[in-house]
Structure 1
Amino acid sequence: MTDAGGSLAGLRELYDRELAAWLAAEDARAAAGRRNRWLVLAGGLGLAAAVLAYAWRSTGNNIPVLAAVLLGAATLLIVRVMAHRPPDAARRRMLEVLARFLGFTYARDGAAFPLAPFAILGLAGCNDKQLEDRLTGRAEGLAFDLAAGVLAERPAGAPASARPRVRLDGIVMRFTDPTPSARFRLLPHIASRTAAGTGDDTFDTVFTLEADNLATAQRRLDPATRRAMLRIAGLIEGATVSIGFDRGEVLLAFATHRRFDIGPPRPPLTQFQRFESLANQITIVFEIASLLRTAARGA
């Protein structure tokens, strides 16, 4: 957290000051909700059983049976409604607190995240986007913008019942390019894909280079930049990443189901480790910015 302008001690102080009481209240509400659900469940099903017992003793009258069934169904429905809580409330509250701490701007809804710059990665045409957790700010002096979610494409004229084609399930990011130059993209390597490489076997087994001006792109992908791209590719465990260089920006699309996770949403939420884990996940922006800066220096 030192790159973010704070230490672990500062993070703990932040948690105690802005989150501990709120999370404790959420846990208390959840406990009260569980207790109330059990009371409603026991009372409703008990009453339904009593009505059913009365119907069993009665003859030629199906109305009590129907009433018992409806009462039981209504009880289960009420319990289910009572159990509904926004699953992301705690995670989003933590993100808001962390964003302020790091000097970022956080928006729960990522609908306004611009996709046009991601044309080089084939994502600009995604007309069915479900993005959230948008973060904007500066890291290592580089402006960035990111959002998480699903990007899909629904063909024009397709019926409403048609399933859109998912293009990305993960995280999209934009960074200012410290050394803007060529326009090209790096896609996850596929053995069957025929494309020119960089001559670096390690790099070429991870990425496939595609560029209109191959020579310019290869010059830009000097050893320092290749090392940085390989490091970026390994930042999120199990993820694949596509990287585009275009008009002074570096565009990244991570395909991953792991995004800003605080663990199971069930109580207790008052665990500092959840907050600490989320903070470590967010610091990926500092890691990427630092790698881009290092590559620009040719280190």
Structure 2
Amino acid sequence: MPRFAANLTMLFNEAPFLDRFALAAKAGFEGVEFLFPYEFEKMALRAELQRYGLTQVLHNLPAGDWARGERGIAILPDRIDEFRRSLASAIDYATALDCKQVNCLVGIAPDGVPDRVLRTTLVANLRLAASELGKHGIRLLIEPINRFDIPGFYLNTVGQAAAIIEEVGSDNLFIQCDLYHQQRTEGELIGTYKRYSDRIAHVQLADNPGRNEPGTGEINYPFVFDALEAAGYEGWIGCEYKPRTTTTEGLGWLGAERKRNRSADIIKIRS
């Protein structure tokens, strides 16, 4: 069965953030992820992880001024020093939380800056970040995001991310493949995964349309889970979706998936 990680930025947000670890564990999750840990004391986060036996699967690098609409600074030539400071902060938190993956949102392309300047800046920043994170045993990820939810975001497809990785030339740079974003941008979820599986280190899910829980839209997630397993994916699957009602009421898909896998295991044993 796939290993599912609760995204605590989006799930269980009926409760204060530090209370969500307990709720995730109670719901049967063994791993968690979230966007940004930086407003919380890292040892307080670590204590919650340890208290409930949870694995911190992933968090993001700082991404600029989120409230003002920034979605990353790695492509911005006038923010290189800030990017380096943010990298140090990400390493500090990731090591404290024993988090082995950090995602970099690369940013929205600003008007008036040539693409070659943005790309050169991005490649240099990612090369540095991959090297520094690698010294601590932490993977660096980059994530394609659909152009409808975040217009102007610099990476939209898995293929674009793979091309950046090739240019960076690091063996510590991987793709975070969010199936919701991929479905909105290009579809062909399994074919794309197989094509770039050597560079995809983390998968996230939500259904489309709506970015709600599996089973509420057009994506056949039982098929996707089976196909990922058959293709050899062994990583976590981050549950980064917006519950239609409450998180707990929307977890029927997870119970059904566990039941489906138990049935499959019984069939294997009997055969």
TM-score class, shorter-chain normalisation, is under 0.3
Normalising to structure 1: TM-score of the pair? Answer: 0.25
Return the TM-score normalized by structure 2: 0.26
Q: Give the number of the structure whose residues are more often strand, by fraction.
A: 1
